[in-house]
Amino acid sequence: MKPLNLLVFLTLTVMVWACSKQVAGPKGAEGMFEQAEYEAAITAYQKMLQDRPNDPQLNYRIAESYRRSNRLKQSAAYYETALENGLVSDSAQFYYAYALKANEDYPQANEVLNSLIEDTNNTTLANVARKELQNLGELEGIKEKNYYEISTVGPLNTAAAEYSPMVSKGEIYFTSNRSDSKIFKTTGTPFSDIYKAPINGVDVDISSIEMLGDLINTPGVNEGTITFTRDGNTVVFARGSDGGKKSTKEVNLYLSRYNDGEWSEPELMSGVNSPDHWDSAPAFNRTGRTIYFASNRPGGRGGIDLYAASIDANGRYGNPRNMGNDVNTSGDEMFPFVDDDGRLFFASTGHAGFGGLDVFVAERKDGKTAIRNLGIPVNSSEDDFGMTYTDRTHGFFTSNRDGGQGDDDIYSFIDNSPDRKVINYKLTLTTLTPDSLTGANISLNNVALKVMDPSEKILQETTTDDNGAITISVEPEKEYLFLAEKDDFFTTRLTFSTIGETIPADQLTEEVTNKSYNREMVLDRIVLAKSIVLENIYYGYDSANIRDDAAVELNKLVSLLEDNPQIKIELGSHTDSKGQDDYNMGLSRRRAESAVNYVISRGIDKNRIRARGYGETQPIASNSNPDGSDNPEGRQKNRRTEIKVFEYNKDTGRMEELNEIEQQTPNPDEQ
């Protein structure tokens, strides 16, 4: 049950999934061929061939019957015999090359195509042949094995055809002609219906396989690919003609919705289907507001193209649009599927492939659409199509390659591509405060936390739990600023970065990798008149100038005052014992004033900070050693800057917030 290979210069013939009702034709091989009863025609032609084995017309008819019934590989020998015995046909020569490609005889296919280009007067055919030569030239670049692992889905497959898997609400849906119903004379196989079975991951409960009811499956009519919206409440599927007067002539898409515990009668999607043309292989996008499908309607690139239709305000799909030249070619594009990342998977004969249909993925990169062949082992020289993911790394597809149960089979896959591996970056923040008795840090619960970017744009607001902890998801290669706030405590900042922390994709071994970080934020209680030493606010000997390292720390003080508008502070400066007492007192006052002026220059209200010099009156380390010698380290510590809160108004911060809101609120009288 292989998909057909159709080109713009040839007429579309009935396809396996075309779902058309068989039409009885006049007796005889030619009548069977004209009525698309290809299996019966092959039998009739082969009987005639016994007496005329080299007859070019008989061999050509058999080749065409095989090709049109999706058995391109079997057609190669008959095309060859027909051409070697005098058949003159550009299209036969082209399809012979295509059949050689399907049999992996790439050098001979290349030779036939070059000969065709040289001899034909058909410009359209010559251009298509050149494109196919280009595709053959790209084979080496796609032969390298990729990260996919594939397995046949065992007993789900039979000697009949199983294809187009689709997973919804814990069940796998697929199309098969496994029933013993009336024979479809185009292929000599039963008509196709849609089945379902329970599924767990990629494990199928084959004991519970069942055919869908009459609402979907119609006796004596082919049903094709099915798709569901993510919530499972809307279904679209392909159905062929039943031959009735009110029936469409071709394959069309039908829609049914689930309401009040039952499915509605399927309706023809009139806004999507094209009268008298083949429309099939539907697939919803992630939101269900767009549906993709395949069609051979006029105006495309040739053969079968992919289209998209969107839902309107009335809940109806319409305005179909061609997916464009990046995706569609002069060959066939069909069986679309959109994964959770918005990647479009589809099958094509027109892009560079191994033979028959290959599976491709289209991704938007830097504003452009990049098309990539999924390579081996997903693709082969046979037909490979119907790709669908059940999660980020698992899914199903269809192939009629050797080694299966027969005809089309459903395969499962694991996508081990590094870019499919998930990395969760988690940061656990713990808010602490010094214990008033021991000084050891203890947990501080229910602290308000703002998560911001470096420009201080708020990304998230949350609160630590009863243990003072919270875990936040962070992104790779990003910088963050955290602000922790609680009444009666200094608001505290923390910068955090994941830049340079990304795990290289080729080092990932698990489907999901968790990378965790832990940081602590210590909030000091606001206590009036309690001294807090500003680290690294040091001065050179006999100097009041602000050093570069001191400026860095004073900037932190600026942030402290900005984050805590409810406090006013005293900035006190201390000296060591060198020099006279009066001189040191004056020097410390100049140093304090220098620091305060710097803070004010950074935008802090001068009424919120005052300077005071303490000279050498309050040392925190000895200026000399026990033997009377100089102690430089101790003197450096004494040349320090401290702050004390001299006023704390809890309502100040709230009033500033209210004032800001009031300023942003329009005055009704001014409107």
Query: Hey, CA dihedral for 633, 635, 641, 646, is it positive or negative?
Result: positive
Of residues 245 and 452, the one with the higher pLDDT is: 452
Longest dimension (CA), the chain: 129
Higher pLDDT, 328 or 201: 328
Mean pLDDT throughout 415-435? 89
Q: In terms of Cα–Cα distance, which of 73, 51, 43, 50 is closest to 61?
A: 43
**Could you give the percent of the chain with pLDDT greater than 90?**
59
State yes or no: pLDDT of 162 exceeds 60: yes
What pLDDT was estimated at residue 646? Answer: 92
SS3 646: strand
CATH number of 422-522: 2.60.40.1120
Whether the Cβ atoms of residue 391 and residue 432 lie closer than 8 Å to each other: no
In this model, does residue 267 exceed pLDDT 60?
A: yes
Q: Pick from 47, 90, 15, 121: which is nearest to 82 by CA?
A: 90
* Mean pLDDT (the chain, rounded): 86
Model confidence band, residue 668 (pLDDT cutoffs 50, 70, 90): very low
pLDDT in tens, 631-654: 999 988 888 889 999 999 876 554
- pLDDT score recorded for residue 656: 47
Question: 365 has which bridge partners?
Answer: 368
Residue 367 binned pLDDT confidence (cut-offs 50, 70, 90)? confident
6-33, pLDDT tens digit by residue? 322 222 333 333 333 333 334 688 988 9
Domain residues of the chain, as ranges? 16-142, 422-522, 532-657
What does the alpha-carbon distance between residue 214 and residue 233 come to, in Å, rounded to a whole number? 18
pLDDT digits (tens, 9 = 90+) for 570-596: 999 998 888 898 999 998 999 899 999
Residue 71 has pLDDT above 90, yes or no: no
pLDDT of residue 660: 46
Is the pLDDT confidence value at 422 over 50?
yes
Structure tokens at 270: 């009139």
Question: Coil, strand or helix: which one is 356?
Answer: coil
Could you tell me the end-to-end alpha-carbon distance of the chain, in angstroms, rounded to an integer?
Answer: 71
Architecture label for domain 16-142: Alpha Horseshoe (1.25)
| pLDDT for residue 662 | 43
Residue 278: other Cβ atoms inside 10 A? 27
Cα angle: 651, vertex 652, 655; to 5 degrees: 80
Q: Are 534 and 553 in contact (CB under 8 A)?
A: yes
Question: DSSP code of 629?
Answer: -
**25-39, 237-251, 297-311, 419-433: least confidently modelled range:** 237-251
Q: What is the 3-state secondary structure (H, E, C) of 142-208?
A: HCCCCCEEEEECHHHCCCCCEEEEEEECCEEEEEECCCCCCEECCCCEECCEEEEEEEECCEECHHH
The CATH T-level fold of domain 532-657 is 60s Ribosomal Protein L30; Chain: A; (3.30.1330)
CB 373 within 8 A of CB 351: yes
Average pLDDT, stretch 504-514? Answer: 79
- The reply to whether 16-142 and 532-657 are identical in fold is no
* Cα separation values, 628 from 243, 292, 577, 631, Å: 115, 90, 13, 9
* Residue-level pLDDT at 26: 43
Q: Is the pLDDT of residue 559 over 60?
A: yes
Amino acid letter, residue 253: L
pLDDT score of 403 more than 90 = no
Distance in angstroms (rounded) separating the CA atoms of residues 348 and 294: 11
For 162-168, what is the mean pLDDT?
A: 95
- Strand bridging mode 567-574 / 609-615: parallel
Q: Residue 220: which of 198, 195, 194, 242 has the closest Cα? A: 242
Nearest to 449 by CA among 441, 459, 439, 438: 459
> What are the tokens at 55?
């007859």
| Spatial distance between the Cα atoms of 623 and 630, rounded to a whole number of angstroms | 7
